[in-house]
Structure 1
Amino acid sequence: MPNTYSQMYVQVVIVVKFRKSLIHKSWKDELYKYITGIVTNKGQKLLRINGVENHVHILLNIKPNLALSDLVKDIKVNSTNWINDRGFNDAKFQWQEGFGAFTYSISQLDNVIKYIENQEEHHKKQSFKEEYILFLKNFEIEYKDEYLFDFLE
């Protein structure tokens, strides 16, 4: 019987609404485990997850049986509810609309994983806005400033 074979590696970037610093070190590992569970339950594979207080990078090996936008929607909706139900923040937690998605070949994975693992060090030198615009330029993605995330820098 024929089957579908694929190898699709995608780095997804999701951002806290208004880029507020609401992801705290005291519970971020729990959040990452929760997001990993969402991805796994959807039959996909999470290779690496990390971020800082205002955004998260997720490296996925995805199958073609699920639209990436549906997976990201599930991640954002369910993790938002999980964070708010636990009262981790005084303010209501929300993710911004939209997301970034950048594809890689298998030969690039080690570098992408290292990049994601070193987010805290990386953001001591570069703001999220600088990082995100560089992603867009490096991947030759046309964009309009008014449709980027809300940057409060």
Structure 2
Amino acid sequence: MPNVKVYIHFVWSTKDRVPFLNTKDLRLKVWQHIRENAQKKGVFVDFVNGYSDHCHCLISLGVDQTIQKIMQLIKGESSFWINKNKLTSEKFEWQDEYFAVSVSESLLEKVRDYIRNQEEHHKRKTFQEETEEFILKFRFERFKG
């Protein structure tokens, strides 16, 4: 039996970054649902949290799981569940795009802390500002001589 430990930090936003998840109570319901549904489907969600317009999820991939399948399962099912239960006043949608990056075991606790502190973090910086900074940093790191 294979023993695989591949951690991926996923981030995705609501369609057009609309702050659909505008209350802490609603966010907690959605994060709990994502965790429970993933568990039923054999997906190990290590940590999940986010803010009004996005979600962070730390997942350990299984042997036969792919990034695409995991995202399809989590985003598609959770969006269906939110709409079925009429948790938002308008039709809820996640944006098609997402971000995924592997996480070294030595950094797991740091990533968990970052995901855990989303409420506090986004009092100082919007998701848009954070995304733009990350893209600039990534490009700089990637292309610096």
The TM-score by the shorter chain falls in which range? 0.7 to 0.9
Describe the SS at the equivalent of 1:18.
helix
- The residue number in structure 1 matching 2:56 is 57
Question: Could you tell me how far 1:42 is from its partner in structure 2?
Answer: 2.6
Please point out which of 5, 12, 15 is paired with 2:13. Answer: 15
Describe the SS at the equivalent of 2:100.
strand
User: Which region of structure 1 is more displaced relative to structure 2, 13-22 or 127-136?
Assistant: 127-136
Question: Could you tell me how far 1:134 is from its partner in structure 2?
Answer: 3.5
- The residue number in structure 2 matching 1:40 is 39
Q: Distance in 1 between matches of 2:135 and 2:37?
A: 27
Inter-CA distance 138–42: structure 2 relative to 1 (3 Å threshold): farther
Describe the SS at the equivalent of 1:124.
helix
Structure 2 regions of 5+ residues with no counterpart?
none
- The residue number in structure 2 matching 1:69 is 68
Q: How many residues are aligned here?
A: 140
> Which amino acid in 1 is paired with 2:17?
R
Question: Could you tell me how far 1:138 is from its partner in structure 2?
Answer: 4.8
TM-score by length of 1: 0.83
Question: Could you tell me how far 1:27 is from its partner in structure 2?
Answer: 2.0
Superposed counterparts of 1:2-151, under 5 Å: 3-23=1-21, 24-139=23-138
User: Which region of structure 1 is more displaced relative to structure 2, 10-19 or 27-36?
Assistant: 27-36
Q: Distance in 2 between matches of 1:51 and 1:116?
A: 7
The structure in which a higher percent of residues are helix is 2
Runs of 4+ in 1 over 6 A off after TM superposition: none
Cα deviations across residues 106-137 of structure 1 (Å, max 9, x unaligned)? 11011101100111111122221222234445
User: Which region of structure 1 is more displaced relative to structure 2, 105-114 or 128-137?
Assistant: 128-137
Structure 1 regions of 5+ residues with no counterpart?
143-153
Question: Could you tell me how far 1:74 is from its partner in structure 2?
Answer: 1.1
Q: Distance in 2 between matches of 1:139 and 1:48?
A: 24
CA contact (8 A) 1:51 1:120 kept: yes
CA contact (8 A) 1:9 1:62 kept: yes
Describe the SS at the equivalent of 1:123.
helix
> Which amino acid in 1 is paired with 2:37?
I
Inter-CA distance 62–139: structure 2 relative to 1 (3 Å threshold): farther
Q: Distance in 2 between matches of 1:25 and 1:135?
A: 25
Percent pairwise identity: 30
Q: Distance in 2 between matches of 1:134 and 1:108?
A: 20
